[in-house]
A and B are shown apart, each in its own frame.
Chain A
Amino acid sequence: MDHDRIIAEIGAKKAVEMYRRMLEIREFEERIRYLFLEGKMPGTIHQYIGMEACAVGVCATLKGDDVIASTHRPTGHAVARGIPMKEIMAELYGRSTGCCKGKGGSMHIGDLSRGMIPAIAIVGGNLPIIMGVALAFKLRAEKRVAVSFFGDGASNEGSFHEALNMAAVYGVPALFVCENNQYGASTNIKRVLKIENIADRATAYGMRGDIADGMDVFDVYSHAKEAVNMARSGKGPTLLELKTFRLCGHSRRDPNNYMTDEEKKFWKNQDPIPRCETVLRKAKIITDAKISIQKKETEEKVAEAIEYGRQSPEPKPEDTLQDLYVSMEVSR
């Protein structure tokens, strides 16, 4: 990975912004982890700790009118896509100021007006939808790109097969980003997949496949950029596999007992945030003092978002009956 070339291409300002976004996701996730454990937040949560480089690296390549779709683990993608943390936090709290007015919850974060479909929490469910989004772009000859984020587990779903085949057949401007974090819940991918790389499956669809280091935000950016450029210029979809790891449980209260200490240690050493700092330091874009300031500002921003969520009004119980149909009222 030629970091100098990538940094030169991205520019110092954007490189720091990407670092900052990763910090925001990490801080956001760390804080809500405790809010959940303390029982201060309703519902459940699937966290993105350790995978920040994936969402940030890909989303940094997108334009405002591009569209992404996420999974049951959507907070990282939402922050990376630029949905205000306040609105995400309010949604997690089930408040009417949330990005889905409290009707979505932690697994359905999103806001289409900001380029993110409310997250699809059925494993593999978003791939055909993103293929359809990209099909609409192609039918209307729009230079927009649709991006599906999904995990290694989703690559074993039938929807993966149908969506990738159709995307390749129609040559739609889509990017299928497989965040291979090695585990579908507690099941290691090696137990349920006989091949080494999920990206290899692209060949079977006549689609371009590619692999990037999902713990290096600049490597992710570089590979995603190429794929997005190809999609935007009519050269068809890509299956991009990001090798990554979640440095947290599958969902709240998951102690990861199914992971070995050795692999946890290996991946902890790949933590994308210190790795990004190293690159930025080496490129003389950021100093330790500046890093401290960034971290402090991020902490404040997340704390503000928490306060906003906590103090926002709850929906009225009868709001349950709103927002189903455009043209029809619903009764109890």
Chain B
Amino acid sequence: MGIAESLRKAIHDEMARDERVFCIGEDIGIPGGYGGAFTVTLGLEKDFRERIIDTPISEIGIFGAACGAALMGMRPIADVQYGDFLLCCMDQVVNQIAKLRYMSGGKLTMPVVMRAPVGVTGRGAQHAQCLEPFFLPCPGIKIIAPATAYDAAGLLRAAVRDDDPVLIFEHKLLYGSKGPRAESGTLDASSEIPDEDYTVPIGKGIIRCEGSDVTIVAGLLMMHFSLRAAEMIEQEGISCEVIDPRTLWPLDMELILRSVRKTGRLVTVEESPKQGGVGAEIAAQVAELVPDYLLAPVTRIAAPNTPAPFAPVMEKYYVPQPERIRDTVRKLIEES
């Protein structure tokens, strides 16, 4: 099962389990429509017509509605068609959803799930941005980013059951959406999804491939690219440990630090610009907490500090490719 399907199943299960759960977003439940921009909610309106709420193109309205409904004890799943559109409703996400519990002195709860597709995918700069780093300095929300179908369903369930707001970044090239909404350049992120109810804990990363020479921390698409790079370079006798953080806030630093203590080297990989990125946060913590273990400088692989370009040749240059990760790792090992 691909990520789009696994999310659909998880949302269906949660809505069946808990009447407080509802979905709100653009084009999510129009009969004959797409089930959201990437088919995640396709067909859910057949079972839950009252709780699949199609909206006008009004992101402030969508996230405001989620905020207000959550205050009344509902458990909304609000989504934007493209992560970039979160910028239209940053007040509701950052000033309201993230801060209201704190401003109330802890008297209220804000169980909102916010879904946002990210990834540079042939659409130019405004349907491409990986906004994960925008939300790191937004205390009050948790941020998850599943790279496999198993994690997507498990983390989404955990998010719906969490009493705090959770922002989930999903990657367009990992959905495995089918039909007219299928993406070109899609990677296979499908997993066996067990029938039984399971969750993946928020705040826990996972080692995708064990290794001893270098720790690579990468989420979403970059996790898959890093695994490819690790495979390529294994033939050269370099052993990479690839960590998928799965949750970007709170970061599973325990797992990352344990790995860096073992390998002595850290490479972070991300699809957003290098400045102020998730890699910068991880690098800073590693430098603060385990400086003596480092055999080489911390290395960040990221997109350049530009918006995403359109032309395929430039896009390929912009997004860190497996070969670039491989070459960077090789150089790091050679020089240390």
Contact = CB atoms under 8 A, between A and B. Distances in A.
Contact of B96 (A104, A129, A139, A162): A129
Contacts of A135: 53, 65, 68-69
Contacts of B140: 324-325
Contacts of A117: 71, 100, 108
B64 A326 contact: no
A122 B91 contact: yes
A129 B142 CA distance: 21
Contacts of A131: 61, 64-65, 68
Instruction: Identify the interface centre among A99, A132, A159, A170: most chain B CB within 10 Å of its CB.
Output: A132
Interface in A88-141: 98-104, 108, 110-113, 117-118, 120, 122, 125, 127-137, 139
B103 A129 contact: no
B60 to A, nearest CB: 5
Given A122-B91, A132-B66, A162-B64, A103 B163 contact: no
Contacts of B96: 120, 122, 125, 129
Interface in A42-96: 67
A132 B75 CA distance: 12
B60 A112 contact: no
A112 B58 CA distance: 26
Instruction: Identify the interface centre among B22, B65, B76, B92: most chain A CB within 10 Å of its CB.
Output: B65
**Interface footprint category on A:** 35 or more
B68 A128 contact: yes
A165 B56 contact: yes
A165 B60 CA distance: 12
A292 interface: no
Interface in A153-194: 158-159, 162-163, 165-166, 169-170
Across the A-B interface, the 5 shortest Cβ-Cβ residue pairs: A128-B64, A132-B68, A323-B106, A101-B105, A132-B65
Interface of A: 67, 98-104, 108, 110-113, 117-118, 120, 122, 125, 127-137, 139, 146, 158-159, 162-163, 165-166, 169-170, 322-328, 330
18 contacts: A99-B105, A100-B105, A103-B104, A108-B104, A118-B108, A128-B61, A129-B67, A129-B68, A131-B65, A131-B68, A133-B69, A136-B68, A139-B69, A159-B60, A159-B61, A165-B56, A166-B56, A325-B101
